[in-house]
């Protein structure tokens, strides 16, 4: 196992180089550059900038350099741990990303906990009470949860909250707390606002997870070791938790690593619609405005997380499942 | 060999049976219809006796066993019948009437009636060590190991487990306790299973085809071990198998089942030397040489086992029976004495039919 | 010799397997209902115009934001469907279009009536519609109208054609890619496996949205909406085949060791033949079940991307395009019927999931 | 002298400058009677600020109020879309020496006290207010303008090409000299009649340099005034590669709260923060008519929104005190509906420019020469204009507001060429359109009814639309239908912004939808009538090249277009009366040639739907609304206040 992990870690830098090139290629593929996008933004908000100024800026930002030169400059900086400067924000990308990181993670973690806290018990209940009324109800909820595009859900919930309860649920903070320093009141405010986006983000995941949990557990419940355990005289719920749930859980736990990158891309649309301070909208903006070093930085982190996530999943699965741990 | 008698109507018990199964009926409610897996089965198990239940796959042997432990899963259901069990404190309880998840049945399971399952590989959880699972069983029924009302600790349970491993002939028991089931060979796995079954000093052991999944040499060893242990602890055993050879070696009394009904039962000698029921005879005929080899699988009897939904009317065996008579397709023959200690349900020997 | 006979045996085995699957699937009541629904939706895909009440592109500034018009089936006790005439005027202060129904003036509705003419599958021309106003000069809006006075019902019918086709074609392409590449990866192993696995990882680690942005921007601009639509389908499947590829690989890894594969190899069958002839059929039912579960994912992807304005763009109509047009406060507040495409998406995805689950259960011999 | 300046300004502006400076003199007479916000008084008492007399210039700017003299206090809640939306900030503060009046017709002094020109308009002198100070308390003098001139404008690294307004015809920069501590003299080689219009647009935009810079602060980052090595160190620490990047960053107020400004509010956080906050500038040069120092409002807060719909929802929920930017006109009914809850009122400011959706037809399209030639035919464009059912567009897209018109200035603007020209070719005459199309030889039709070109291909035009304002794609769709009805195949392509602009630059677009927002300012900024301008113009990219290469490359414009260019050049050098005459000629020419086909104009579509909280007062009910006017900056935002 250790050898396997070491091997994977060793090829990580190589993979990152390949990824960085592909990413740079992709973000550079759309026609135009940051300044074309910038001019377009200015023009569509009713203001303008002269051709001379554009040329000057283009030169200043090095956007008139050939593709490979730009790439190597980027790589050179990256190797020094420098994510470069955002063209739009005129601030170091590392700062911009790290500022959003905290709340992104908070939201992701919250929806993750919510997802698991709802999905796993629901899945266990459904599997241990198959074809019961509650099982059917949960199944229907799950299917609808999977089928509803979450951006639509977000939009409708936001409107309903406003139209019928007169509360504006966009954002993660009340206006007075957005830039306030951290305090108990601010945490409380965050907890008040986080549940709706957390729910919207988590709903499809919850539905999917509880269906997988149900299916896995149903499989496990039919295994002979369950009969053995029952024949030992164990309490039913204890038995279910200790044996089949534990086994049904393994494949789920192994997806936790995959969840890591999904935290960023999954919330992209919802975070934009709900105006959440999040990496997702930052990435979307950077892509649309062709703020390429910012977009590149976020994508690179994303790829890194995917690789690490995959590795983490494998390690987790091995830790949980002695069959894998001992044999490899 | 102690004298045993099956209690039937009018017969007098010489000794209180450990387990009395009376007219047990278990059915499965499926979308396609109802499957009557056990359809009026009756037999007794005496303390210290080895009872063999034999029959083709799907004849209801395993379901009967599960019914005894109240482990019949949905959509299965015990419809009628009694399963009277003589508890160690001398009281007799009807297991059918116990709530399947209640405290009493859980005390009995593992504590008084233990199970040796069919597939030792799948019967251990693959992510817990073998020792863990046995220690758990010991702790569940720790009162059976208690000395002076003191609860036993995990460490003591582990010691007991190692002792049990030694008893069932597992070499290097200290290391094996921490192994996972899939790290053990088939034979060792089954030995570990037996150790678990014995861990709480049960009074009745149900061995559900314990040797089907292991190779021939190991099979013989496991059987020998079971025999030794039975003698040592004087545990009663219900031995379920489709292998008549195994029955001949192990059991003192035999119950032959077909499609959820008892066809014939009696002492092992009577069954083997003077079978009364045509089904038993067919079974015996299918063994090439009884003592020639130990590995005797049950070859095909003419015709195939009917589909569970298409139960024939009358005697369930009549479509395949060589001695079929017109009456056979009309009434269901009752299980009646047909000799010393031997009972059969066949119109060849009596005219008693089950009441409709 | 042995090759042909084994193939023949396979065919028998497969056929009976299919029959078993069908038999088990039939018992799934919800899955059967869903399958019926999907068949109906694909009928719409084949001839959306037949199901449309009017030309989905027909605008009329004076008929914007008309609410849903319910069909009344009985007129004075006799079966004669009609909808009330509506008259609208702009509110002088809020400038909102306000509509008043006048049940006294009725517009007759007829089934299989004549309306605008169209071509079925590009072959023959007709003007018969499932539902149409009795008087072809009148307009009816069964699901209301949008801001340009276009008929929402007819637009959903045409959106159904686009979105359902995208889902199906994208999944079909993904399946082909997944089976071929996953099969190679799992069967050949070694370096091929390594390369394919890394490609899969690469594709899975790059978020779909930038790929979309980049590729959709890179599409040649003189492409017609139909070409763009197919290109987008291809892009979706290029991103979407990886999951299936992994699964197929896993199956191959397990099957590679099976006796019958060894036998086929010893009999001198070519590699491709072994994969396609011997290995794929053993889990074909599984692939079908998985793909039927992948279609709704594609549909949601298409919807999400079009919603972001990165996918299919108007004047092409898809569910995502319709939802994108409905994504504003005005719609939520004043014209909630424009969210009906969202309902259609939910129903379609639900149906696909139910059918997929039913198929998976039916295809899995251990499910009972 | 004051009176002199007044006359001059009135002359340059287009109407009489209402006695603004006269009131100023009367306040001046009672010096020592100024009032300030209580919070400022506290700071003064605490010794953190000098007394008000020391903070205000000798002759403060006296700002007339819209409704009444206001009260101090409050936080103005607004929304913005992030750093790229820093124009939102720029429009609120309008930090410039001179500014446009609310109606957009006059130019009035703001930070500067006034300006005067020589009789031939070649020499301009800007007079500053004596004793005016930057927001950090440092004096604001002529040196701040000269720092801009010598160290920024003439520095090749910071300004590789000179902006047009300061450039002489020979390419050299106008001469700028310090006349006194408070006066700066600009000398041009040719008359510069539009000097003040240009100056009114020289406000520290995000990535450009205003013509007045806080020299005392910025010198630290300029190698002419500080050691290069030290600057490089600071640049590297902040993540910049060159000193110019650092300098540009330090100069941009939305990105650097340390940078002092002259505006009524100065940033205390950055535009990249979730909330971008501006706070009262205690040194602001303005007072109200009662001698209260402005602004009334303590703080302006811009909350970040990633999505315009979320922003609109927040507006409807009454989360903003006054917001017009990013409010979609289509939400007008919902906003108006919620108005009755009493949280806010809705004000509309129709756009200053002539049309809110025009279709520009590329006059130099080369990818398909046959179609390109047709597009360059006047009758073709006239036919397309007649073919459009503008009534339908008005009802569907503009809520029934506005009127059908070409892209010429509004009737209240002096450059308005007359109703006859504004409405030219805007009637819906399908027959006339068909007749005109037949007349230019497009008589043959294919099976689908599309007219065939001489090469046998159907006449096809592609309209490229950027979904910048929700309604433009709808305009394009409706126009497309109308054109197809007269046999011109129309493809509507909705494009991502950057792609559209890139294609525009490369002469790949056939037609585009945009608004005509520059018609009031044909001579400054990026007027669309002038083909030499970049980059939002699809009208004739190759004409631009022809001018840029002095006729060596590109396509020579037709005489009508050449005349427009001639007018633009001439108008910059003549007095106001002649300027008006020339402008009217320009717009008659423009409307007659329909290079751009106007649809509907005079609606509040572009940032003209104002959501103002009920308590938020002094917001004018009519306003010249355009980017060159920096609206709502020209509404004199410093006199907005919350009534208690």
Residues D586-605: tens digit of each pLDDT: 999 999 999 999 999 888 88
Same domain, residue pair B145 and B100: no
Closest CA to D427 of D374, D477, D482, D361: D482
Name chain C contacts of D330, Cβ cutoff 8 Å.
147, 328, 330
Closest CA to C345 of C68, C174, C159, C170: C159
Question: If you count residue pairs, one on A and one on C, with CB atoms under 8 Å apart, how many are there?
Answer: 102
By the 10 Å C-beta count (0-12 exposed, 13-18 middle, 19+ buried), D603 is classed as buried
Measure the CA–CA gap between A45 and D308, rounded to whole angstroms.
Answer: 13
Same domain, residue pair B146 and B257: no
Measure the CA–CA gap between C24 and C241, rounded to whole angstroms.
Answer: 28
Same domain, residue pair B105 and B7: yes
CA distances, B267 to each of B5, B203, D517 (Å): 9, 21, 108
Q: D460 - beta bridge partners? A: D489
Residue-wise pLDDT for D268-312, tens only, equals 998 888 789 999 999 999 999 999 999 999 999 998 887 788 888
The proportion of chain A whose per-residue pLDDT surpasses 70, expressed as a percent, equals 88
8 A C-beta contact, residue B249 and residue B222:
no
Please identify, among B275, B291, B307, the residue that sits at the C-terminal boundary of a domain.
Answer: B291
pLDDT above 50: residue D24:
no
Mean pLDDT on D508-536? 80
Please identify, among B172, B201, B230, the residue that sits at the C-terminal boundary of a domain.
Answer: B201
Contact check, Cβ <8 Å, A277/D255? no
Same domain, residue pair B160 and B285: no
Same domain, residue pair B22 and B75: yes
Same domain, residue pair B90 and B148: no
Please tell me the predicted confidence (pLDDT) of residue C40: 93
Task: Find which of B274-278, B303-307, D286-290, D409-413 is predicted with most confidence, using mean pLDDT.
Answer: D286-290
Q: C83 - beta bridge partners? A: C107
Residue-wise pLDDT for B231-289, tens only, equals 888 889 999 888 888 888 888 899 998 888 888 999 988 888 888 888 888 888 776 54
Contact check, Cβ <8 Å, C148/D474? yes
Same domain, residue pair B66 and B26: yes
pLDDT band at D16, cuts 50/70/90? Answer: very low
pLDDT above 50: residue C72:
yes
The proportion of chain C whose per-residue pLDDT surpasses 90, expressed as a percent, equals 5
pLDDT band at D638, cuts 50/70/90? Answer: very high
State which fold the A93-320 domain adopts.
Answer: MetI-like fold (1.10.3720)
Please tell me the predicted confidence (pLDDT) of residue B285: 78
| CA within 13 Å, CB half, C83 | 24
Same domain, residue pair B189 and B214: no
Greater confidence (D53 vs B56) lies with: D53
Please identify, among B269, B291, B313, the residue that sits at the C-terminal boundary of a domain.
Answer: B291
pLDDT above 70: residue C254:
no
Query: Residues of chain C whose C-beta is under 8 A from some C-beta in D?
Result: 57, 59-62, 64, 90-91, 93-96, 147-149, 213, 217, 221, 309-310, 313-315, 327-330, 333-334
Contact check, Cβ <8 Å, D312/C328? yes
Closest CA to A57 of A38, A32, A42: A38
Q: D267 - beta bridge partners? A: D278
Name chain A contacts of C356, Cβ cutoff 8 Å.
none
8 A C-beta contact, residue C97 and residue C61:
no
pLDDT band at A10, cuts 50/70/90? Answer: confident
pLDDT above 90: residue D328:
no
CA distances, C101 to each of A52, C85, C355, D300 (Å): 59, 6, 41, 48
Using CB atoms, which residue from D310, D534, D607 is nearest to A273?
Answer: D310
Mean pLDDT score of chain C, rounded to an integer? Answer: 78
pLDDT band at D421, cuts 50/70/90? Answer: very high
**DSSP 3-state of D286:** strand
Tally Cβ neighbours within 10 Å of residue C347.
Answer: 16
Tally Cβ neighbours within 10 Å of residue A107.
Answer: 26
Residue-wise pLDDT for C37-67, tens only, equals 999 999 999 888 899 888 888 888 788 888 8
Residue-wise pLDDT for D77-108, tens only, equals 999 888 778 888 999 999 999 999 998 888 99
Greater confidence (D202 vs D126) lies with: D126
8 A C-beta contact, residue B161 and residue B134:
yes
Residue-wise pLDDT for D444-456, tens only, equals 998 888 999 999 8
By the 10 Å C-beta count (0-12 exposed, 13-18 middle, 19+ buried), A41 is classed as buried
Structure tokens at A14: 């190589």
Measure the CA–CA gap between B114 and B12, rounded to whole angstroms.
Answer: 28
Q: Which chain A residues in 231-270 lie under 8 Å from chain C, judged by CB atoms?
A: 261, 264-265, 268-269
The proportion of chain C whose per-residue pLDDT surpasses 70, expressed as a percent, equals 81
Structure tokens at A100: 């959003």
Q: Is residue B322 part of a domain?
A: no
Measure the CA–CA gap between B25 and B79, rounded to whole angstroms.
Answer: 5
Measure the CA–CA gap between D326 and C285, rounded to whole angstroms.
Answer: 53
Measure the CA–CA gap between D61 and D51, rounded to whole angstroms.
Answer: 18
Same domain, residue pair B272 and B188: no
Q: Does A230 touch chain B (CB under 8 A)?
A: yes
Please tell me the predicted confidence (pLDDT) of residue D379: 95
List the end-to-end C-alpha distance of chain C, in Å, as a whole number: 37
Q: Which residue has the tokens 């720029």?
A: D90
Measure the CA–CA gap between D572 and D41, rounded to whole angstroms.
Answer: 47
Residue of D308, D310, D328, D333 best to disrupt the C interface, most CBs of C under 10 A: D333
Measure the CA–CA gap between A169 and B268, rounded to whole angstroms.
Answer: 79
Please tell me the predicted confidence (pLDDT) of residue C206: 66
Please tell me the predicted confidence (pLDDT) of residue D85: 81
Name chain A contacts of D313, Cβ cutoff 8 Å.
158-159, 162, 168, 170
Mean pLDDT on D142-156? 94
**DSSP label at B70?**
T
Greater confidence (B301 vs C145) lies with: C145
By the 10 Å C-beta count (0-12 exposed, 13-18 middle, 19+ buried), D129 is classed as buried
By the 10 Å C-beta count (0-12 exposed, 13-18 middle, 19+ buried), C286 is classed as middle
Name chain C contacts of A163, Cβ cutoff 8 Å.
332-333
pLDDT above 90: residue D612:
yes
Measure the CA–CA gap between B184 and B160, rounded to whole angstroms.
Answer: 20
pLDDT band at C175, cuts 50/70/90? Answer: confident
**DSSP 3-state of A32:** coil
Chains A and C touch (3+ CB pairs under 8 A): yes
Cα angle vertex D496, ends D491, D502, to 5°? 90
Please tell me the predicted confidence (pLDDT) of residue D98: 95
Please tell me the predicted confidence (pLDDT) of residue C313: 73
Mean pLDDT on D213-233? 93
Q: B113 - beta bridge partners? A: B109, B204
Q: Which residue of A has its CA nearest to B198?
A: A232
Kindly give the pairing relationship between strand B236-241 and strand B50-54.
parallel
Q: Does A31 touch chain B (CB under 8 A)?
A: no
pLDDT above 90: residue D138:
yes
Please tell me the predicted confidence (pLDDT) of residue D206: 58
Q: Is residue B240 part of a domain?
A: yes
* Plot region of D388 (φ>0 → left; ψ -120 to 50 → alpha; else → beta): beta
Mean pLDDT on B296-302? 49
Residue of A132, A228, A318 best to disrupt the B interface, most CBs of B under 10 A: A228
Name chain D contacts of C60, Cβ cutoff 8 Å.
392
Q: Which residue has the tokens 């250790």?
A: A2
- The residue extents of the domains of chain A are 93-320
Measure the CA–CA gap between C163 and C300, rounded to whole angstroms.
Answer: 9
Residue of A132, A225, A316 best to disrupt the B interface, most CBs of B under 10 A: A225
Measure the CA–CA gap between D393 and D597, rounded to whole angstroms.
Answer: 13
**DSSP label at D615?**
T
Backbone angles phi, psi at D456, to 5 degrees: 90, -10
Same domain, residue pair B46 and B194: no
Measure the CA–CA gap between D351 and D360, rounded to whole angstroms.
Answer: 19
Residue-wise pLDDT for B4-59, tens only, equals 334 443 344 457 888 998 888 888 877 667 788 888 888 889 888 899 998 877 77
Q: B33 - beta bridge partners? A: B30
Residue of C346, C363, C367, C368 best to disrupt the A interface, most CBs of A under 10 A: C346
Total domains present in chain B: 2
Residue-wise pLDDT for B90-136, tens only, equals 888 888 888 888 888 888 888 888 888 877 778 888 888 888 888 88
Tally Cβ neighbours within 10 Å of residue D341.
Answer: 11
pLDDT above 50: residue D9:
no
pLDDT above 50: residue D8:
no
Mean pLDDT on B145-172? 81
8 A C-beta contact, residue D281 and residue D261:
yes
Contact check, Cβ <8 Å, D498/A281? no
DSSP string, D262-277: -SSEEESS-TTSSEEE
Same domain, residue pair B106 and B8: yes
Residue-wise pLDDT for A252-293, tens only, equals 776 777 676 666 666 677 787 787 777 877 887 787 777 888
Residue-wise pLDDT for C128-168, tens only, equals 888 888 887 888 888 988 888 899 999 999 999 888 888 88
Q: Does D497 touch chain C (CB under 8 A)?
A: no
**DSSP 3-state of C119:** strand
Domain housing B161? 122-201
Residue-wise pLDDT for A181-211, tens only, equals 778 888 888 887 888 888 888 887 788 888 8
**DSSP 3-state of C106:** strand
Q: Is residue B167 part of a domain?
A: yes
Same domain, residue pair B77 and B106: yes
Q: Is residue B339 part of a domain?
A: no
| Residues sharing a CB contact under 8 Å with residue B161, sequence separation 6 or more, in sequence order | B131, B134, B135, B138, B173, B177, B195, B199
Across the beta sheet with D183-187, the strand order is D112-117, D123-128, D183-187, D175-180
Model pTM score? 0.77
The proportion of chain D whose per-residue pLDDT surpasses 70, expressed as a percent, equals 93
8 A C-beta contact, residue C110 and residue C132:
yes
Mean pLDDT on A98-102? 80
Please tell me the predicted confidence (pLDDT) of residue B274: 86
pLDDT above 70: residue D470:
no
Q: Is residue B189 part of a domain?
A: yes
Backbone angles phi, psi at C83, to 5 degrees: -125, 150
């Amino acid at each position: 196992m250790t050898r396997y992990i070491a091997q994977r870690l060793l090829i990580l830098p190589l993979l990152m180089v390949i990824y960085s090139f592909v990413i740079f290629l992709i973000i550079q593929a759309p026609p135009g550059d940051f300044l074309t996008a910038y001019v377009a933004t200015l023009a569509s908000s009713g203001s303008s900038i002269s051709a001379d100024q554009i040329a000057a800026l283009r030169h200043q930002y090095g956007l008139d350099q050939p593709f490979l030169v730009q790439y190597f400059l980027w790589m050179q900086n990256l190797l020094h741990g420098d994510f470069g400067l955002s063209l739009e924000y005129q601030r170091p990308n590392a700062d911009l990303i790290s500022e959003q990181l905290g709340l992104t993670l908070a939201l992701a973690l919250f929806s993750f906990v919510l997802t698991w806290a709802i999905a796993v018990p629901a899945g266990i209940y459904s599997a241990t009470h198959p074809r019961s009324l509650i099982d059917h109800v949960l199944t229907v909820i799950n299917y609808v949860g999977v089928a509803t595009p979450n951006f639509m859900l977000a939009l409708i919930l936001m409107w309903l909250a406003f139209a019928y309860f007169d509360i504006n649920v966009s954002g993660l903070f009340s206006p007075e707390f957005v830039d306030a320093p951290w305090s108990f009141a601010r945490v409380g405010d965050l907890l008040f606002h986080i549940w709706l986006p957390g729910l919207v983000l988590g709903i499809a995941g919850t539905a999917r997870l509880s269906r997988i949990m149900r299916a896995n557990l149903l499989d496990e419940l039919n295994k002979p070791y369950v009969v053995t355990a029952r024949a030992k005289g164990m309490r039913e719920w204890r038995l279910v938790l200790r044996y089949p749930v534990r086994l049904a859980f393994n494949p789920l736990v192994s997806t936790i690593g995959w969840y890591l990158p999904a935290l960023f891309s999954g919330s992209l649309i919802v975070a934009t619609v709900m105006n959440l301070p999040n990496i997702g909208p930052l990435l979307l903006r950077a892509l649309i405005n062709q703020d390429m070093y910012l977009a590149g930085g976020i994508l690179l982190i994303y790829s890194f997380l995917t690789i690490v996530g995959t590795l983490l999943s494998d390690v987790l699965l091995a830790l949980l499942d002695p069959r894998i741990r001992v044999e490899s | 060999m102690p004298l045993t008698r099956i209690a039937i109507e009018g017969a007098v018990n010489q000794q209180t049976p450990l387990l009395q199964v009376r007219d047990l009926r278990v059915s499965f409610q499926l979308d396609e219809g109802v499957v009557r897996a056990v359809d009026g089965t009756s037999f007794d198990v005496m303390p210290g006796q080895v009872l063999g239940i034999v029959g083709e796959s799907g004849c209801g042997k395993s379901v009967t066993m599960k019914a005894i432990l109240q482990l019949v899963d949905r959509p299965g259901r015990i419809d009628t019948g009694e399963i009277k069990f003589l508890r160690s404190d001398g009281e007799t309880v009807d297991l059918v009437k116990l709530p399947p998840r209640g405290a009493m049945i859980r005390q009995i399971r593992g504590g008084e009636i233990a199970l040796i399952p069919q597939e030792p590989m799948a019967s251990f959880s693959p992510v817990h060590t073998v020792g863990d699972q046995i220690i758990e069983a010991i702790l569940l029924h720790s009162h059976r190991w208690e000395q002076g009302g003191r609860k036993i600790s995990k460490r003591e349970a582990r010691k007991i487990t190692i002792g049990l491993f030694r008893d069932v002939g597992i070499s290097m028991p200290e290391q094996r306790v921490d192994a996972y089931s899939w790290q053990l060979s088939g034979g060792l796995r089954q030995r570990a299973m037996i150790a678990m079954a014995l861990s709480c000093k049960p009074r009745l052991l149900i061995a559900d085809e314990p040797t089907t999944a292991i190779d021939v040499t190991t099979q013989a060893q496991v059987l020998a071990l079971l025999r030794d242990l039975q003698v040592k602890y004087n545990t009663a055993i219900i031995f379920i198998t489709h292998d008549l050879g195994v029955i001949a070696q192990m059991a003192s009394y035999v119950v032959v089942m077909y499609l959820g009904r008892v066809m014939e039962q009696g002492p092992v000698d009577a069954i083997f030397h003077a079978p009364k029921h045509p089904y038993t005879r067919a079974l015996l005929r299918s063994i090439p040489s009884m003592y020639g080899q130990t590995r005797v699988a049950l070859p095909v009897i003419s015709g195939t086992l009917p589909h569970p939904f298409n139960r024939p009317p009358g005697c369930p065996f009549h479509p395949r029976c060589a001695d079929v008579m017109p009456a056979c397709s009309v009434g269901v023959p009752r299980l009646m004495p047909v000799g010393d200690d031997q009972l059969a349900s066949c119109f060849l020997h009596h005219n008693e039919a089950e009441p409709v | 010799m042995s090759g042909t006979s084994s193939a023949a045996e396979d065919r028998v085995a497969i056929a009976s397997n299919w029959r078993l699957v069908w038999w088990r699937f039939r018992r799934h009541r919800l899955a059967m209902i869903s399958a019926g629904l999907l068949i109906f939706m694909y009928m719409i895909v084949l001839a959306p115009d037949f199901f449309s009440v009017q030309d989905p592109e027909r605008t009329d500034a004076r008929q914007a934001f008309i609410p849903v018009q319910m069909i009344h089936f009985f007129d004075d006790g006799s079966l004669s469907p009609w909808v009330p005439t509506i008259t609208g005027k702009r509110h002088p202060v809020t400038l909102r279009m306000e509509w008043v129904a006048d049940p006294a003036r009725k517009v007759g509705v007829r089934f299989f009536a004549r309306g605008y003419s169209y071509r079925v599958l590009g072959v023959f021309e007709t003007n018969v519609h499932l539902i149409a106003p009795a008087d072809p000069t009148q307009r009816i809006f069964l699901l209301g109208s949008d801001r340009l006075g276009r008929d929402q019902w007819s637009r959903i019918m045409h959106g159904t054609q686009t979105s359902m086709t995208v889902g199906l074609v994208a999944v079909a392409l993904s399946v082909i890619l997944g089976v071929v590449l996953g099969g190679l990866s799992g069967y050949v192993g070694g370096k091929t496996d390594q390369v394919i696995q890394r490609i899969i990882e690469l594709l899975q680690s790059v978020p779909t949205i930038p790929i979309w942005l980049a590729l959709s921007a890179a599409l040649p601009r003189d492409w017609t909406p139909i070409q763009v639509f197919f290109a987008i389908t291809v892009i979706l499947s290029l991103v979407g085949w990886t999951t299936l590829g992994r699964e197929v690989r896993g199956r191959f890894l397990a099957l590679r060791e099976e006796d019958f594969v060894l036998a086929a190899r010893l009999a001198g069958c070519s590699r491709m033949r072994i994969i396609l002839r011997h290995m794929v059929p053993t889990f074909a039912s599984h692939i079908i079940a998985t793909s039927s579960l992948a279609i709704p994912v594609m549909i949601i992807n298409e919807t999400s991307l079009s919603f972001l304005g990165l996918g299919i763009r108007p004047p092409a109509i898809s569910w995502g395009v319709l939802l994108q047009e409905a994504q504003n406060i005005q719609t939520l507040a004043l014209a909630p019927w424009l969210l009906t495409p969202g309902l259609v998406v939910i129903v379609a995805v639900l149906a696909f999931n139910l059918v997929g689950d039913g198929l998976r259960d039916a295809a899995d011999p251990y499910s009972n | 002298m004051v009176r002199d300046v007044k006359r001059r300004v009135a002359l340059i502006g287009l109407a009489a400058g209402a006695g603004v400076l006269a009131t100023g003199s009367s306040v001046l007479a009672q010096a020592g009677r100024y009032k300030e916000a209580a919070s400022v008084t506290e700071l003064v008492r605490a010794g953190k600020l000098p007394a008000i007399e020391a903070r205000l210039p000798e002759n403060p700017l006296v700002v007339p109020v819209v409704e009444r003299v206001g009260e101090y206090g409050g936080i103005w809640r607004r929304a913005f879309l992030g750093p790229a939306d820093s124009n939102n900030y720029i429009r609120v503060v309008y930090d410039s020496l001179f500014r446009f009046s609310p109606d957009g017709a006059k130019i009035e002094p703001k930070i500067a006290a006034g300006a005067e020109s020589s009789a031939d308009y070649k020499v301009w002198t800007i007079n500053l207010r004596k004793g005016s100070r930057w927001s950090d308390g440092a004096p604001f003098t002529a040196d701040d303008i000269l720092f801009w001139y010598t160290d920024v404008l003439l520095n090749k690294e910071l300004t590789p090409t000179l902006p047009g307004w300061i450039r002489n015809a020979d390419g050299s920069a106008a001469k700028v000299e310090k006349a006194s501590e408070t006066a700066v003299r600009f000398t041009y080689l040719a008359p510069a009649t539009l000097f003040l219009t240009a100056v009114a647009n020289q406000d520290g935009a995000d990535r450009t340099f205003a013509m007045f810079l806080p020299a005392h602060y910025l010198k630290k980052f300029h190698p002419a005034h500080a050691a290069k090595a030290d600057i490089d160190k600071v640049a590297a620490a902040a993540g910049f590669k060159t000193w110019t990047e650092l300098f540009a960053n330090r100069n941009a107020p939305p990105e650097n709260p340390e940078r002092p400004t002259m505006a009524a509010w100065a940033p205390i956080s950055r535009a990249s923060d979730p909330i971008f906050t501006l706070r009262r500038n205690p040194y602001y040069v303005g007072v109200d008519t009662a001698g209260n120092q402005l602004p009334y409002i303590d703080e302006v807060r811009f909350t970040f929104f990633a999505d315009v719909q979320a922003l609109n929802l927040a507006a409807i929920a009454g989360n903003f005190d006054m917001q017009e930017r990013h409010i979609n006109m289509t939400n007008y009914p919902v906003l108006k509906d919620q108005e009755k809850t009493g949280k806010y009122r809705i004000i509309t400011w129709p756009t200053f420019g002539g049309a809110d959706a025009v279709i520009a037809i590329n006059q130099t399209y080369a990818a398909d020469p046959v179609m390109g030639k047709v597009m360059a035919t006047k009758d073709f464009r006239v036919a397309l204009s007649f073919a459009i059912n503008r009534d339908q567009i008005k009802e569907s897209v503009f809520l029934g507001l506005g009127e059908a018109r070409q892209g010429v200035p509004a009737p209240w603007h002096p450059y308005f060429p007359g109703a006859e020209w504004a409405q030219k070719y805007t009637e819906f005459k399908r027959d006339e359109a068909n007749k005109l199309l037949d007349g230019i030889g497009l008589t043959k039709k294919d099976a689908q009814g599309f007219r065939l070109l001489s090469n046998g291909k159907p006449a096809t035009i592609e309209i490229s639309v950027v979904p910048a304002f929700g309604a433009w794609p709808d305009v394009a769709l409706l126009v497309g239908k109308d054109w197809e009805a007269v046999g011109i195949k129309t493809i509507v392509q909705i494009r991502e912004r950057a792609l559209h602009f890139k294609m525009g630059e490369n002469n790949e677009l056939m037609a585009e939808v945009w608004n005509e927002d520059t018609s009031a300012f044909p001579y400054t900024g990026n007027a669309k009538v002038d083909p030499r301008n970049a980059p939002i113009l699809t009208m004739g990219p190759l004409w631009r090249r022809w001018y840029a290469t002095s006729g060596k490359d590109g396509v020579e414009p037709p005489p009508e277009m050449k005349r427009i260019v001639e007018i633009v050049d001439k108008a910059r050098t003549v007095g106001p009366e002649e300027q008006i005459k020339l402008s009217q000629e320009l717009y008659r020419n423009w409307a007659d040639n329909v290079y751009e086909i106007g649809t509907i104009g005079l609606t509040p579509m572009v940032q003209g739907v104002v959501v103002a909280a009920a308590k938020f007062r002094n917001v004018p009910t009519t306003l010249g609304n355009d980017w060159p006017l920096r609206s709502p900056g020209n509404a004199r935002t410093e006199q907005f206040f919350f009534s208690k």
